[in-house]
Amino acid sequence: EAVKLCKQAGIRVVMITGDHKVTAESIARQLDLPPGKTVTGLELQQMTDEELYDQVEDTSVFARIEPLHKLRIVNALKSHGHVVAMTGDGVNDAPALKAANIGIAMGITGTDVAKESSDMILVDDNFASVVAAVEEGRAIFNRLRNVLFFLLSTNLGELLALTLALLFVGKAPLLAVQIIWINLVTDTTAAVPLGLEPKVGDELRQPPRHPRVGMVFPGLLLRIIFMATFMGVGIFLIFRWAEPRMSIEEARTITFCTMVAFEWFRAFNARSDEYTIFKLGIFRNRWLLMAIAGAIALQMLAVYAPFMQVAFSTVPLTVEKWGIALLAGGSLFIIEETRKVLFPKLFSLGKWQPLKKD
């Protein structure tokens, strides 16, 4: 089952064993490894590095292998650009474990030398634990991308709104203390639970990520620019509409609440770049629900509590003005969720593979 999950995740499994060739091939058939030529230790010993380089891509079973042969196999796979994870338990496995991108030592049967040479230790000596670690690692990486997307698009949106307002209205739409409140209270309150988002369940169906593809990729940048532009322009238009029609304090208060409303809704958008909140489950991330509820309560205090009004230069808003703020903030949420239904892969450019090949 673990080998099947590896195939599904785009991970190639290669069996390297000291057993006889017939035994190795029998086990390979049971594991449903790709058919092909089985290379023995004697054959490998007679190969040059160039010959092994040509052979290793089409070989999934190596039999009667000595520990030092493993080092040549690891180097041959790495020379093809593969990210190689190697398991081992003996003293002689140490060079191969050290040479691999990820050395994995057995926790029960592994020697101290093997454990010291490895990057990870399997405490239960179970190959399935490696698959579980891959799944969790991918989930963590996805969460970090979501948090980064949320924070960058928010801050760029604020910057754009401030720039547009100063250029075309001549006044700042938000005071410094209000911006600090947004960044320290609203942003942080939403970002932390985004980092606790439960696994989506498709992590092992995602293709492997190329080592040169980092946290930020072209599709993510496009999504950040789209979100930040929509937010920044929207906040600016609210301020430009409000400024001549009401006091500057009230205009800034409605702008302040609009910005915060954008973030409340966008926190739900940021849970995934492909799946809607209905597919993810509205109530699955209970930490996010509690965080948004807390953020709403704090925002009410900032607008209606007298001592907070003094600190943040806010005034009470009517239900109608709150409706404007929520409608503006929710509009981007609706657009983004609709995009996920119609064009789920729209912002996936360069997500797994670099645009320029080596």
Per-residue pLDDT at 337 exceeds 90: yes
Residues 247 and 276 in one domain: yes
Work out the end-to-end distance of the chain between its first and last CA atoms, rounded to an integer number of angstroms: 34
Per-residue pLDDT at 357 exceeds 70: no
Residues 108 and 160 in one domain: no
- The answer to whether residue 210 is domain-embedded is yes
Domain of residue 287, CATH code: 1.20.1110.10
- The answer to whether residue 347 is domain-embedded is no
Taking all residues of the chain, what is their mean pLDDT, rounded to a whole number? 93
- What is the per-residue pLDDT for 22? 92
Range of 48's domain? 2-131
Mean pLDDT, residues 220-249: 96
Mean pLDDT, residues 68-83: 92
| Helix locations, the chain, DSSP H | 2-8, 21-30, 41-46, 49-56, 67-79, 94-99, 112-117, 127-168, 176-181, 188-194, 218-242, 248-269, 277-280, 286-304, 306-312, 319-342
Among 113, 131, 149, the domain-final residue is 131
Residues 255 and 228 in one domain: yes
Q: What is the pTM of this model?
A: 0.89
Residues 147 and 291 in one domain: yes
- The answer to whether residue 352 is domain-embedded is no
> Residues 254-270: pLDDT tens digits?
999 999 999 999 999 99
Q: How many CB atoms lie within 10 A of CB 77?
A: 21
- What is the per-residue pLDDT for 358? 56
- What is the per-residue pLDDT for 14? 92
- The answer to whether residue 258 is domain-embedded is yes
- What is the per-residue pLDDT for 247? 95
Among 131, 155, 187, the domain-final residue is 131
Under 8 Å between Cβ of 261 and 326: yes
- What is the per-residue pLDDT for 338? 96
Among 111, 131, 151, the domain-final residue is 131
- What is the per-residue pLDDT for 74? 95
Residues 119 and 160 in one domain: no
Calculate the alpha carbon distances from 174 to 219, 233, 334 in Å. Answer: 30, 14, 25
Per-residue pLDDT at 356 exceeds 80: no
> Residues 19-29: pLDDT tens digits?
999 999 999 98
Residues 181 and 230 in one domain: yes
Mean pLDDT, residues 143-170: 96
Residues 217 and 328 in one domain: yes
- The answer to whether residue 353 is domain-embedded is no
- What is the per-residue pLDDT for 68? 84
Domain of residue 22, CATH code: 3.40.50.1000
Under 8 Å between Cβ of 56 and 80: yes
Residues 175 and 275 in one domain: yes
- Give the total number of structural domains in the chain: 2
> Residues 310-322: pLDDT tens digits?
999 999 999 999 9
- The answer to whether residue 57 is domain-embedded is yes
The whole-angstrom distance between residue 145's C-alpha and the CA centroid of its chain comes to 4
- What is the per-residue pLDDT for 353? 87
The whole-angstrom distance between residue 91's C-alpha and the CA centroid of its chain comes to 36
Residues 109 and 36 in one domain: yes
- The answer to whether residue 356 is domain-embedded is no
For the ranges 41-55, 233-247, 324-338, the lowest mean pLDDT is seen at 41-55
Residues 338 and 192 in one domain: yes
Q: How many CB atoms lie within 10 A of CB 137?
A: 11
- The answer to whether residue 59 is domain-embedded is yes
pLDDT band, very low/low/confident/very high, at 135 (cuts 50, 70, 90): very high
Mean pLDDT, residues 63-86: 92
Residues 328 and 213 in one domain: yes
Residues 38 and 168 in one domain: no
